[in-house]
Amino acid sequence: MTDAPAAYQVLARKYRPATFADLIGQDAMVRTLKNAFEADRIAQAFLLTGIRGTGKTTTARIIAKGMNCIGPDGTGGPTTQPCGVCEPCRAIAESRHVDVLEMDGASQTGVGDIRENVLNSVQYAPSSARYKIYIIDEVHMLSTSAFNALLKTLEEPPAHVKFIFATTEIRKVPVTVLSRCQRFDLRRIEPETMIAHLKGIAGREGAVVADDALAILTRAAEGSVRDALSLMDQAIAHGAGGETGAEEVRAMLGLADRGRVLDLMDLVMQGDAKSALSEIGAQYADGADPLAVLRELAEITHWISVIKISPDAADDPTAGPDERARGRDMADRLAMRSLTRMWQMLLKALEEVAVAPNAMMAAEMAIIRLTHVADLPPPEELVRRLSDAPPAPPAPSGTSGATPSPSPGGGSMQARPVPGGRTGGAAPAVAAASETALARFHAFDQVVELIRANRDAKLLIDVETGLRLVRYVPGRIEFQPAESAPRDLAARLAQRLQTWTGVRWAVSIAGEGGGATIAETRDAESDALRQAAEAHPMMQAVRNAFPKARILGIRTHDEVAAEAAAEALPEVDEEWDPFAEE
């Protein structure tokens, strides 16, 4: 680098903060440091952590300057407002101060590096400054033995020594080191702060950058000032003297036009495949990268999902007023289920588009798939439509008159009184005393329920699979045994029923005339439901879109409703605000 006036200095370097006042978005840390300096309680070691570009090394240098600054007149003490003009301040700013040693933990990871750079010199007094300061960047990269060597000094550091560590991965720093440092978490810069910062610098540079362009730069920088400034540097160069607009910045970053992607999202969610295809085609013709469009779709899907949970998210300063309104509107209209489904499909589509020989074709296929799925009603709605549809074809196996017929679309066997059951023609008269005890067993179903209630699993299975009911009246069961039926089924059933009801039951075996077993009926019902589902136009639409789709399970509307009720969160006190500060 040269000091010649003609030399261009990149913005990130030119506007690198020189004092705590220049640090943007880190107010909490600055306040704490100020208090410590004023109380003359400067920690022995600092640990600065945060994502890349939040100013960790810059902050480390400012702290070093503050500790060693002697003021313009050479008589000042440690300060949070380093003067920037005294010899120590200038030497530190230029990384040439003999008592301020900077070490890169990423490249100097071994115990030998620590010994050479730190341990060998740590006991000597600083040659010119107040403190000897060791700045170790990316400290988490040090080897275990290097950490151990460092630890001895950290435990009992000489009074003239200070350490400043910086790291992007705090979890990799041993707790023994953590516990000996004052820790500062450098935060991502909030979008509002970043936009204002960029605007200020653009103004000082005499460059005109449109507000929506600044918003796009801010979004792309993801909270890193350094990245934001580098991007703005390029953007201004792209603008070549005139105003730098959103379009140039988007082109520079390879981003899709958010407004148009919102249009596309609308069409997809309406299930309008034709219009969605022509929209993405138009964007492609205008130079949009298909991958960027899908990525933007995914980002919007995420954003809208978050707005559904917390409506404040719509006030994203990197989104224009029009986008915010549309985001809110979509959050109102779209079901969370559709959004999560869309998200999953987009993740998959992004992979496909990235590896497809023709990205646009892959993107178009993804859009077609998305429109099909977005258009599908949620499963509970699908089942409701199925229930309203004409009843399924009758189950293949016949059912005896006494067995309740399967209800179309219904899930479980329903207990239903059999009309005239109690006065069945062939049944002998039942004693009056028994009549009361048997009153609650109108139908054979209730007998099965009794077995279930008494938890006799073996009997239950034998009855469900081995018993073909021929005739039933309360107190009297006639059945034809299925092949699998155990020989003692009749005797065992009679004995148990007598025990449980206190009334004698006549259980007899017939050679023919039995209906389907309960298990067979149940299977037939689920087959019928499955057939109805398979035959339903919605399922056929699914088939067309996903030829390999299989029905894995069918849940009736009642089941879904019951499940939803069980999962519903308890109501929360209205006053409770999860985002309130404590």
> Does residue number 82 form part of the binding site for Zn ion (CB under 5 A)?
yes
Q: What is the dihedral of CA 467, 470, 473, 474, to 10 degrees?
A: -10
| Among 55, 306, 60, residue whose Cα is nearest residue 189 | 55
> Does residue number 83 form part of the binding site for Zn ion (CB under 5 A)?
yes
> Does residue number 133 form part of the binding site for Zn ion (CB under 5 A)?
no
Concatenating the DSSP letter of every residue in 414-431 gives: ---PPTTGGG-TTPPPPP
Task: Report how far residue 335's alpha carbon sits from residue 343's, in angstroms, rounded to the nearest whole number.
Answer: 12
Q: Closer CB to Zn ion, residue 84 or residue 157?
A: 84
Structure-token pair, residue 203: 């103004």
Choices 88-96, 151-159, 189-197, 447-455 (CB under 5 A): range interacting with Zn ion: 88-96
Burial (CB < 10 A; 0-12, 13-18, 19+), residue 544, is exposed
Task: Report how far residue 273's alpha carbon sits from residue 279's, in angstroms, rounded to the nearest whole number.
Answer: 10
> Does residue number 66 form part of the binding site for Zn ion (CB under 5 A)?
no
Task: Report how far residue 196's alpha carbon sits from residue 215's, in angstroms, rounded to the nearest whole number.
Answer: 10
**Closest distance to Zn ion from the beta carbon of 82 (Å):** 5
Residue of 23, 33, 86, 413 interacting with Zn ion (CB under 5 A):
86
> Does residue number 307 form part of the binding site for Zn ion (CB under 5 A)?
no
Task: Report how far residue 576's alpha carbon sits from residue 298's, in angstroms, rounded to the nearest whole number.
Answer: 31
Choices 86-94, 150-158, 166-174, 307-315 (CB under 5 A): range interacting with Zn ion: 86-94
> Does residue number 89 form part of the binding site for Zn ion (CB under 5 A)?
yes
Choices 66-74, 368-376, 431-439, 551-559 (CB under 5 A): range interacting with Zn ion: 66-74
How many Å is the Cα radius of gyration of the chain? 38
Choices 79-87, 114-122, 407-415, 521-529 (CB under 5 A): range interacting with Zn ion: 79-87
> Does residue number 100 form part of the binding site for Zn ion (CB under 5 A)?
no
* Distance separating the N- and C-terminal Cα atoms of the chain: 49
Residue of 12, 62, 69, 221 interacting with Zn ion (CB under 5 A):
69
> Does residue number 269 form part of the binding site for Zn ion (CB under 5 A)?
no
For the four alpha carbons of 153, 154, 156 and 157, in that order, the dihedral sign comes to positive
> Does residue number 129 form part of the binding site for Zn ion (CB under 5 A)?
no
Using CB under 5 A as the binding rule, the residues of this chain from 211 to 250 that contact Zn ion are none
Choices 81-89, 295-303, 420-428, 463-471 (CB under 5 A): range interacting with Zn ion: 81-89
Q: Closer CB to Zn ion, residue 67 or residue 267?
A: 67
Do residues 374 and 342 lie in contact, with contact meaning Cβ atoms separated by under 8 Å?
A: yes
Q: Closer CB to Zn ion, residue 64 or residue 497?
A: 64
> Does residue number 62 form part of the binding site for Zn ion (CB under 5 A)?
no
β-pairing verdict for 132-137 and 467-473: unpaired
CA-based max dimension of the chain: 121
Q: Closer CB to Zn ion, residue 69 or residue 166?
A: 69
| Among 128, 223, 147, 231, residue whose Cα is nearest residue 185 | 223
Choices 27-35, 74-82, 154-162, 216-224 (CB under 5 A): range interacting with Zn ion: 74-82
**Closest distance to Zn ion from the beta carbon of 158 (Å):** 23
Binding residues for Zn ion, rule: CB under 5 A, are 69, 82-83, 86, 89
